[in-house]
Structure 1
Amino acid sequence: MEYLDCVVVGAGWYGLAAAKQYHCTQPERSLAVLDSEASLGGTWADHRLYPGLKSNNMLGTFEYPDFPMDTETFGVKTNEHIPAPVVNKYLKAYAANFGIADFIRLQTKVSVAEHQDTAEGGWILTVVNAEQHESKLFTCRLILATGRTSDPFLPHFAGQETFGGRLFHGKQFRDNRDTLQTAKAITIFGASKTAWDAVYAYATAGVKVNWIIRHTRFLTWFSPCIWGDADGYNGIRRFLHGTALGRRIVDTFWSILGNDVMTLMKFDAHPETAKLKPRTLPMFTGDSFSILNYNTDFMELVKSEKVQIHIAEFDHLSPGKVHLSDGVEFE
């Protein structure tokens, strides 16, 4: 069994930061960064860079404080949204710059982590490599940085066995990007950032888009999070959410923010864009929101015949067709 001082699980933004900090402060200690994918980067790994993907952030707002993303090296200019390949390049450069690239073990998945109830403590990890060979290692310290987007959730749709068309999760968009040229029609289910990006990519490629949107769910002090006290500002939270004056401040804040969004997006300017209007308050929508960082006007696509929005539940699939809860069906 291999023995290590520290193991970081996950080679995305947070895993790399944790590994860098540990290595730079304790360079004599042994370290491994385990990631189940074939490339570092997490959400920004090679295989997840689907067509047109950009960060919602602009230059200078999406970087580590000790490793600036400068224009000369990475090619992004001031007030430009950062393209996904640049984020990927930046993370690889960060790992190389701080000497942690050699500690990264890709295509290595942790299947079991067992804490040792002894005086020494530590963890025994069961890991599986790309060839599905299983082994164990011991680590004194275990840092989990797997994020929330590691494993895609693809629900089972009634009738999918006889559907006949291609069915894939947004995480596999890159691997299915040939459909931008081969598909005549595409159905997109959901309204997250990835969904908006996919709608834009297909519509601008001339593919007919049927977009199914159901009804979905920041600023931490203004959000009634049940784990809020963990940030150490429970007094501020108690005032904002536990007093009449505080709640009035919170309500006013979200009202102003919501009205700004409605005004800037011009949802009510057209019957089709009105279908994209949030049906819940911003406070309850959280990180389902994104921003318009596209090269052309997204809303013009929605107003055109290229995109058809359906506010309904997904019912079932049949050979070559999608069926909705309101009786609508389409190719």
Structure 2
Amino acid sequence: MLDPRTSSVGVLGSGAAGLITAYTLLQDGFKDVTIITRDKTPGGVWADERVYPGLTINNVHGEFRFSPQPVPPAKSKTKRLSGFEMRDYMQKFAENYLQNKIHYGLEILKVTRANRSPSGWNVEVRDLNSNEQKTLQFDKIVLCTGVWMQQAFRSDEISPASAKTAAFKGRIFHSQNFRSELDRLHAEGQNESAFGEVVIVGGGKSAQDVASYLANKGVKVTIVFETTDAFLAVTSPLPDFIRRSRFLSIVSPHSTLNSRLERFLHTTSLGSNIAHFIWKQIIAGSFAAAEVSDDSPLKNTHDAFWGIRINDEGVPQPDGFHKLVKAGKINIVSPTRVASYSTDGDSVILNNGGKLRADTVVLATGYTSSWHPIFDEETSVDLGLNRHPPDPSLLQTENEWNDYVSLRNPPKAHPSGEQWASSIYRGIVPAKNLLNRDFAINGAVFTTNNGYAFEVTSHWISSYFLGDKNLKLPSSPEEALAHADRNSAWLRKRYPDMLLWANESYSSDLAFWTWPQVIDELLEDMGLKTYRSGGNWLTWPFKVIELQEIEHLKEERDELRGAGKQ
């Protein structure tokens, strides 16, 4: 039988998921591993061409990293790594472990099955330096494009095309291009004042970061949104046993309740009241820490319990978003949205009939899926990549969790039949392609601890490609699809309407606060120890989760193989 390690593996994307996936495959003995990216540097969202002053990581220090490489102390007062520090970390990781494995400046045009036996993939690319097009061939593919290879989402009403039709005279660009716009400005010998009056469309993290940077440069900024992200904030840093433990994951329900404490919190009235009280106190404390008054438009946030649009601000700083709003340096117009460009050429029209002057419009409006541009319909169908409307006969699956008292009285949402179901098993393998073992995804599961999640997922993928007998898999594509459908039913119940908001390239699973439970499921699949942070019946919810817990997963998997459990 052919050794899977002789297979050529193409890793599409050089973000965090792509880097750790390639590293793990190489450590497991795969000889021919190549990362393909259109970027000039590694890191994805943290690539040099995307980071800009004021961009900060939305994780507590020590979470977003990989076990082989320590993370340096944060230099900021918030104890959060800046975008530039994350860039340096990713570049150092690539230099240390992936020399000559990353092919930069290659834009992926199309991915199709190769016409060769028994399997294989063609990846059509364009060299951005020479404009030459060529086809690369791989036996296996790991899709790690995340949201950063994709085109920015812009509604038709506020798209650049609409701006042109309305003869808008100012600048217009998406927030993902903010760094390149800054570079262009500085190359012309101008400073940020050249942006004039800026209107930022959207209330998410990127909108807030751009607004904060410009306000700190003295630029007049107005940010427009209907609802902004919820956030966590404290007056002083929380102890690690609260913020870096399982505590928040336990007070957030998961599809399977594995402990008495979780069952108490989510299936009893008293426990549910306690769980909701904790969340209400967390959010109330966050508003207080950021000095957000009751009449502030910043109170127009998504629900922190029922949603996944939550930022972790830590200790608010004077030059941070919420304090700048309080100081009057950032103007907020909410709840409303930008509906169109005015025909006067220098303003935008709001859906409430108002008008805002704008010399520059920044669209912080989200992204479309990174998968659609590179997979044609035939390949998507053949692979089973696309999500689909829920099977009407399976809608009753949501009743499985009717005993979850904590999920009663959800916010108003679209009917389940109008939402989505994923076709991706564990958020990693398209169910239809399960038995081929030649395609996997890393980075499509939405979590709050990407470093830990990406690394464990990379080991699961490597075991899957190696054909490890100890890796527990469904017996058939049909069983895998049933599992994916069940998980989608759970997500529709747990996070109403979130599957309509999040695009499919990072919503195969929404393991937000409950990422420890989801990671334990992957570890259990591989036959490895779960609940690695330890503790006894009383202390386990508060034990700090560290990357050192998973630094020897390769050796553990090797031992299982050698013990005859292959």
Question: Considering the TM-score relative to the shorter chain, is it more than 0.5?
Answer: yes
1:305 Cα deviation after fit: 3.7
Shift in Å, 1:325 = 1.2
Aligned to 2:333: 310
Aligned residues: 316
Aligned equivalent of 2:199:
187
Distance 2:134 2:293 in 1: 58
Relative to structure 1, the CA distance from residue 79 to residue 23 in structure 2 (aligned partners, 3 Å threshold; closer, same or farther) is same
Query: Residue 113 of structure 2 is aligned with which of 104, 112, 115?
Result: 115
- How far 1:84 moved relative to its partner? 1.3
Q: How does 1:129-144 map to 2 (within 5 A)?
A: 129-130=127-128, 131-144=130-143
Shift in Å, 1:248 = 6.3
Partner in structure 2 of residue 170 of structure 1 = 175
- Using the TM superposition, give the Cα deviation of residue 154 of structure 1 relative to its aligned residue in structure 2, in angstroms: 2.7
Query: One-letter code of the match for 1:245?
Result: T
Q: CA deviation at 1:278?
A: 4.0
In 2, distance between residues paired with 1:220 and 1:113? Answer: 37
Question: 2:213 is matched with which residue: 201, 215, 225?
Answer: 201
Letter in 2 for 1:140: D
Q: Unpaired runs of 5+ in structure 2?
A: 1-5, 186-190, 230-245, 358-566
* Aligned-residue RMSD, C-alpha: 3.3
Hey, what's the Cα distance between the residues in 2 that align with 1:157 and 1:302? 27
Q: 1:25 — aligned with what?
A: 28
Which amino acid is the alignment partner of residue 306 of structure 1? K
**AA partner of residue 129 (structure 1):** D
- Give matches, 1:204-283, under 5 Å: 204-215=216-227, 234=256, 236=258, 245=267, 249=271, 252-266=274-288, 269-270=292-293, 274-283=296-305
- 1:206-260 Cα deviation digits (max 9, x unpaired): 1111110123689667667xxx76xxxx3549x979x972586456424422432
**1:16 paired residue number:** 19
Change (3 A) 1:246 1:308: same
Kindly provide the CA deviation profile for residues 106-160 of structure 1, in whole angstroms up to 9, marking residues without a partner as x: 1112222223586522212222221332211221111111112322223333551
Match of 2:104 among 103, 106, 114: 106
Residue 322 of structure 2 is matched in structure 1 by 299
Change (3 A) 1:306 1:20: same
Amino acid at match of 2:307: T
Distance in 2 (CA, whole Å) between partners of 1:94 and 1:12 is 11
Query: Are 1:321 and 2:347 matched, yes or no?
Result: yes
TM-score normalised per structure 2: 0.50
Distance across 2 between alignment mates of 1:322 and 1:195? 17
Match of 1:56 among 52, 55, 58: 58
Unaligned runs of 5+ in 1: none
CA contact under 8 A between 2:292 and 2:298: conserved in structure 1? no
1:168 shift after superposition? 0.7
What is the CA-CA distance between 1:182 and the residue it aligns to? 1.4
Amino acid at match of 1:277: K
**Separation in structure 2 between the aligned mates of residue 200 and residue 19 of structure 1, nearest angstrom:** 35
Whether the 8 Å contact between 1:112 and 1:125 is mirrored in structure 2 is yes
* Equivalent pair of 2:69/2:93 in contact (CA under 8 Å): yes
Would the aligned equivalents of 1:47 and 1:175 in 2 still touch at CA under 8 Å? yes
CA contact (8 A) 2:337 2:350 kept: yes
* 1:188 Cα deviation after fit: 0.7
Q: Distance in 1 between matches of 2:77 and 2:219?
A: 33
The AA in structure 1 aligned to 2:192 is L
Greater share of strand: 1
Deviation at 1:264, TM superposition (A): 2.6
Q: Is the contact made by 1:317 and 1:323 (CA closer than 8 Å) also made in structure 2?
A: yes
What amino acid is aligned across from residue 29 of structure 2 in structure 1? Answer: Q
Cα 1:298–1:136 change in 2 (3 A) is closer
Query: For 1:294 and 1:203, how far apart are their aligned partners in 2?
Result: 14
1:176–1:254 Cα change, 3 Å: farther
3-state SS of the aligned residue for 1:146?
coil
Contact 1:240-1:250 within 8 A present in 2 as well: no
Conserved 8 A contact 1:59-1:77: no
SS in 2 for 1:167: strand
Q: 1:65 and 2:67 equivalent?
A: yes
- In the alignment, is the contact (CA less than 8 A) between 1:43 and 1:149 conserved in 2? yes
TM-score for the superposition, normalised by structure 1: 0.82
Does the 8 Å contact 2:56/2:80 carry over to 1? yes
Contact 1:240 / 1:246 at 8 angstroms: preserved in 2? no
Q: Does structure 1 conserve the Cα–Cα contact (< 8 Å) formed by 2:209 and 2:321? A: no
Give the C-alpha shift of residue 12 in structure 1: 0.8
Cα distance in 1 for partners of 2:268, 2:275 equals: 11
Q: Percent identity?
A: 21
Q: Give the SS at the match of 1:157.
A: helix
